[in-house]
Amino acid sequence: MATSRFLRPLTLAATGVGLAAVMGIALIAPASAATVIDGPVDLGTASTYGVLGASAVTNTGPTLVNGDLGLSPGTSITGFGGLPNGVVNGTIHQTDAAAAQAQQDALTAYSTAASLTPTRAGLDELNGLSLSPGVYSGGALALADTGALTLAGDANSVWVFQAASTLTIGSGSRITITGGASSCNVFWQVGSSATLGTAADFQGTVLAQQSVTATTGATIQGRLIAQNGAVTLDTNTINASTGCPPPGTVSETTAPTITSPPPGDGTVGEGYTATITAAGNPAPTVTVTGLPDGLGFDGSTGVISGTPTTPGDYAVVITASNGTSPDATQNVTLVIGQPAPAPSPSPSSPGASPAPSASAPGAGNATPPPGARANTPGGLAVTGTDPTMAMTLAGGLLVAGLVAVVIARRRARRS
């Protein structure tokens, strides 16, 4: 088995945690938790809740909660009880022992998530990112209106987001999980309050120290948990993650490999495409350098495309990396050739002009055959005996006839 990127978390010291949860005090236990993880954050009994508030849970409209709904230590749950109000497909725990225990377990999970060492720090805007499993931290985390965040991993991959202050998910934004991963293993530890915008599509468990607000039409695949404040809802759909792997399930990492064949050669002026694929856990990031002029690489699709403009031999380097050594490298000599010259038409080829002939118009330079004239001044072709010879012969006969007539007359006079 390959070495995991995350080590197993130690047990968090929970002295006083239960009392703090019951009293609504934001007590964070000393850093006795591990600073790295190898699996999901343990939510304990809070894992069955779609919504868990501290001071109140307030709803407007036909919100649907697929999971339990709880409140502790507050007493006010409003806006539920069946259509046209909210519906809970689970158990409502209003200021009872189960809700108090769930808040205690949620506080333990919050403290564990907050103690983790970031894989990447200094984040603020999440829009357009594609993130492999790990721990990501920032001050105020935000996903822009209509923005997109992609989480790429496998069934055991874990993401923890640490927001020192607020979490703001913009209206119409979307979080997409790929590679068989699930909302079970996405956790948002928020130092203050979280807000999910109108019609946002959200994934993961929110562990907010203060309040959580889901505005009109936001959908949540996960859980909304407020440690000290209220959870406020408005026509939302909340599906508590189910079928999740138990805490401590190891997400085994594997070094990347390039699984696609080397890209083929191309031709100047002709469209070119080649797809690069790679495997590994976490999902590798692929880079391509040294491409010919006119070609580009899209890291989100893995496609090289474009139209080459300059012939030559290009040393292209394809690299796949995912934080687990060694990186995978593929060196390719990509040849861009000149286009083939267009063939010249031959006389027998379709569309070729026929060779001029002596009798064809425009063939005035052709040599006529013996005994034939080429063209008369009027442009009509003359064939057969030359008419000059005939006229000469006729003239001779005529002269001979005249001579015979003259001789005959002279003879007649003498007699």
pLDDT digits (tens, 9 = 90+) for 283-294: 788 999 999 999
Using CA atoms, how far apart are residues 25 and 43, in angstroms rounded to an integer? 19
Which residues share a beta bridge with 177?
151
Instruction: Kindly report, residue by residue over 138-192, the tens digit of the pLDDT.
Output: 999 999 999 999 999 888 889 999 999 999 999 999 999 998 888 999 999 999 9
- Greatest CA separation for the chain: 179
Domain annotation covers residue 403? no
Using CA atoms, how far apart are residues 340 and 337, in angstroms rounded to an integer? 9
Q: Which residue, 206, 239, 272, sits at the end of a domain?
A: 239
User: Quick one: CA dihedral 375, 381, 387, 389, positive or negative?
Assistant: positive
Residue 137: band (very low, low, confident or very high) from pLDDT cuts 50, 70, 90: very high
Residue 235: band (very low, low, confident or very high) from pLDDT cuts 50, 70, 90: very high
pLDDT of residue 347: 60
Where is pLDDT greater, at 17 or 358? 358
98 and 235 co-located in one domain: yes
What residue type is 194 in one-letter code? A
Percent above pLDDT 70 for the chain: 73
Residue 403: band (very low, low, confident or very high) from pLDDT cuts 50, 70, 90: low
pLDDT of residue 92: 97
CATH of the domain at 321: 2.60.40.10
Q: Is the pLDDT of residue 392 over 70?
A: no
Residue 372: band (very low, low, confident or very high) from pLDDT cuts 50, 70, 90: very low
Give the residue numbers spanning the domain of 271: 254-337
Size of the chain, expressed as the number of residues it contains? 415
265 and 313 co-located in one domain: yes
pLDDT of residue 255: 81
Using CA atoms, how far apart are residues 12 and 275, in angstroms rounded to an integer? 47
Nearest of 102, 109, 106, 105 to residue 39 by alpha carbon: 109
Strands 272-275 and 237-239: unpaired
Per the structure block, which two tokens stand in for 279?
Answer: 């495997």
Average pLDDT over residues 84-94: 96
Domain annotation covers residue 395? no
pLDDT of residue 353: 52
Nearest of 205, 228, 236, 195 to residue 86 by alpha carbon: 236
213 and 266 co-located in one domain: no
Q: Which residue, 337, 363, 388, sits at the end of a domain?
A: 337
HSE toward the beta carbon, residue 405, CA cutoff 13 A: 6
Q: Is the pLDDT of residue 334 over 90?
A: yes
84 and 228 co-located in one domain: yes
The total number of structural domains in the chain stands at: 2
44 and 114 co-located in one domain: yes
Domain annotation covers residue 10? no
89 and 160 co-located in one domain: yes
Instruction: Kindly report, residue by residue over 93-104, the tens digit of the pLDDT.
Output: 999 999 999 999
Domain annotation covers residue 343? no
154 and 269 co-located in one domain: no
33 and 176 co-located in one domain: yes
Per the structure block, which two tokens stand in for 380?
Answer: 């009509």
HSE toward the beta carbon, residue 250, CA cutoff 13 A: 11
Q: Which residue, 215, 239, 263, sits at the end of a domain?
A: 239
- The H or E element spanning position 408 is helix 387-414
Phi, psi of 185 (to 5 degrees): -115, 25
Domain annotation covers residue 144? yes
36 and 162 co-located in one domain: yes
62 and 108 co-located in one domain: yes
Residue 324: band (very low, low, confident or very high) from pLDDT cuts 50, 70, 90: confident
239-243, 295-299, 361-365: range with highest mean pLDDT = 295-299
233 and 260 co-located in one domain: no
pLDDT of residue 86: 97
Domain annotation covers residue 224? yes
Instruction: For 350-396, give the DSSP string.
Output: TTPPPPP-TTSTT-TTSPPPTT--SB-TTS-B--SS-HHHHHHHHHH
Domain annotation covers residue 396? no
Counting Cβ atoms within 10 Å, is residue 331 exposed (0-12), middle (13-18) or buried (19+)? exposed
Residue 6: band (very low, low, confident or very high) from pLDDT cuts 50, 70, 90: very low
Domain annotation covers residue 356? no
265 and 233 co-located in one domain: no
